[in-house]
Structure 1
């Protein structure tokens, strides 16, 4: 049997569906990023936590609503995992798992990778108000696309 690697779109969609139940948690961007980081750690999916500025380019920089200090997750293929931009910018803001476009209204600026961001799952579960140790494993499309060990990089690697 030959398993094909998932395309980025398929992998992003699978991760978005998998993480969607977390969207209802009463957390801001830092808390949500902690939750997603803990879950990604459990699965071995590589990621980077970023902190800096999310800018609504439709507003002048002098407008206090134009920029927010924000946390989000970046995936190895350049996709962004962000479930809290809409909290500040409304329904037009990006949401979920997506690849940001250069000419987008919303720009992730001067991203600074955050080290030592992961907290123990018990503490993050307490912050989230739910037991994250029971969160399901991700869909197989996501696992094949974001294989942390780099063992599934060719279409015929599975026997």
Structure 2
């Protein structure tokens, strides 16, 4: 998966959300950054504050929830739809993208990984429903 290349970056949820948002924005893919909390309904554990990306069709991009709730298969990771795992409830407000960190700083923060993530024109053309 394209965005998984950023997963090994030494960033927490806020920094990685900036990097993911940058890639999606450059590709013209509709999305919003959210900040709030995630609750595990089974255990009652709550991660707050937490930051993630929500795509226009409701899918979530979150590579850091396991950082806080444990590296377990039951904890969502990567790109997933919230309906596929109702145990984890995402509650947040959408943030303005105007505070996005510039490409050079993000590339340093991701230890050069950001420069290697490219969304092909073919992908964007084949998925017109996700474009801005």
Alignment TM class, shorter chain as reference: 0.7 to 0.9
Q: Counterpart in 2 of 1:140?
A: 122
Out of 61, 64, 78, the position equivalent to 1:81 is 61
Say if 2:54 is the partner of 1:70. no
Out of 64, 73, 88, the position equivalent to 1:106 is 88
SS at match of 1:107: strand
Q: Provide, for residues 88-116 of structure 1, a one-character-per-residue CA deviation record: whole Å limited to 9, x for no partner.
A: 1122211111110287111101x101002
Say if 2:8 is the partner of 1:28. no
- State how many pairs are aligned: 127
- Unaligned segments of structure 1, at least 5 residues: 1-16, 149-159
The structure with the larger Rg is 1
TM (norm. structure 1) is: 0.71
Which range moved further: 135-144 or 75-84? 135-144
Q: Counterpart in 2 of 1:41?
A: 25
Cα separation, 1, equivalents of 2:85 and 2:22: 31
Greater share of strand residues, 1 or 2?
Answer: 2
TM (norm. structure 2) is: 0.85
- Unaligned segments of structure 2, at least 5 residues: none
- Structure with the bigger RCO (C-alpha within 8 Å, sep 6+) is 1
Cα deviation for residue 143 of structure 1 reads 4.7
**RMSD of aligned Cα (Å):** 2.0
Structure 1 pair 119–93 and aligned structure 2 pair: CA distance change class (3 A): same
